[in-house]
Structure 1
Amino acid sequence: MGDLPIERLSPYTPPFTYTGVDYFGPYDIVVGRRREKRWGVLFTCLTVCAVHLDIATSLSTDSYLCVLKSFVARHGCSRRMLSDNGTNFRGASRVLKDEIERISPALIERQYPELEFTFIPPGSPHMGGSWERMVRSTKSILSEILPPSGLREEVLRAALADVESVLNSRPLTYVPLETSESEALTPNHFLIGHSSGLLDDIVIIVDDSAKRNCWTRGVVVDVHRSKDGQVRSAVVRTADEIITRPAVKLAKLDIKVGNTLNGSS
């Protein structure tokens, strides 16, 4: 087995500096009375293993360029982008090269970092294992959450966002067991600074039936708001169970939430 490529071991570089990209699908969606096909597009950071998911309306180069523009707008321009030998990928490489050549060199240096397209050899899917494995995970999750029929594009887009959140919150390192407040390193730590997209509050649960001097802590995982927008109750995860309590029975702790809480005191 050869050494890992430089794209897999590049410290001190932003996420998606080195990116793998692939298509999966198609998925049949309902548009009015007709049916159309949509393809999922997966971008994988080869260094921190983060993913970005989007939808392509076709396998054409123009459609891929639109998806690529959306990706760059959100995550910045990659230094190198790896993919298989699909005609849409090669077409995008040629089109972008022609467009960049029309821009003055000074403008390129200031606003358009060099984007290099690299293609793995034909018949060697193992060389794209980093993104092929993420495609497999994405398709596996989608098979569980998508409706069996009548799929609409907005539902597919929302489902891809959910899958992206799940994959970016997966642990990249061994999960420690020494302390209940420890958590594993995840791709989200590099993207948003913490493991989950939600900064849940830590609260003390006011329970009249609890033992004296027993203050149960929990993490708010969801809230229920009334019509005026105020939080009236919340779903709280404690060390033993998930419970729902009214807001008046929850005392929010004024501390910074940096780790997932699994204990009580």
Structure 2
Amino acid sequence: MAIRGNVSTIRCDNGTNFVGANNELSKQIELSSGKVKDYLLENRIEFKFNTPEASHQGGVWERMIRSVRAVLNGMALKYNRRLTAQTLRTAFYEAANIVNSRPLTATNINDPEEMVITPNHLLTRKTTLLPALPPGIFGNDEIYGRKQWRMAQQFAQDFWNAWKADYLQQLTIRQKWTTIQRNVKVGDVVIIKDEPTPRNQWKIGIITNLVKGADDLVRKVDVRLGNSHLDRNGKPTSPTTCLRRPIQKIIVLIQA
């Protein structure tokens, strides 16, 4: 609340700290009287608890916590005792920004004014967000240097590389090969998996062509990236970038 501002509802599991906080706040409200009590009742935070022993009811946020924790656990040995408290806090802010910059949905990829919706838009309530680009190139040897800010940036870069791969795999529905799943279709909005992409930047496009194999399953696709140079009729005034990629390198964001 100190960072994001007041909230009206907190959804959580039945952890003792959450249940205790709810009981403590309720007790303090009962001890108040008159206008103070009325004010607190009108502006209090509502706790909504999951059913006990039903952690799956918080699957949306629990899965994200697991994803971030798995990446941080893998990085713990590399950065063990190398970051100061201030540097670690900066690195965690960078990691939080990366997670909250993930695309949730897309509207018109050709219109630069219509940004891809991310959690940061909901948290900051800003319609236009500039990507937090890394201020330089940082190698794996930064953790042995003396400059803490460069170490924090290397931490953020390592987090981006590991978390991006884990997040994109979450979007891909994994089934046994014996089960036929939906083929991608022309008009699907997709994210392109691209290793050299700077952090917090996602290549998003629309499938324009399909290439099927002998089994009639889509194996390759042509993806048209967004083009912000449009005339009044919505037609591009500059060449549009089209990429051919295997289906293993695309993640469906919105189905046609």
TM-score (norm: length of structure 2): 0.43
TM-score (norm 1): 0.42
Higher strand share: 1
Question: Which has more helix, going by share of residues?
Answer: 2
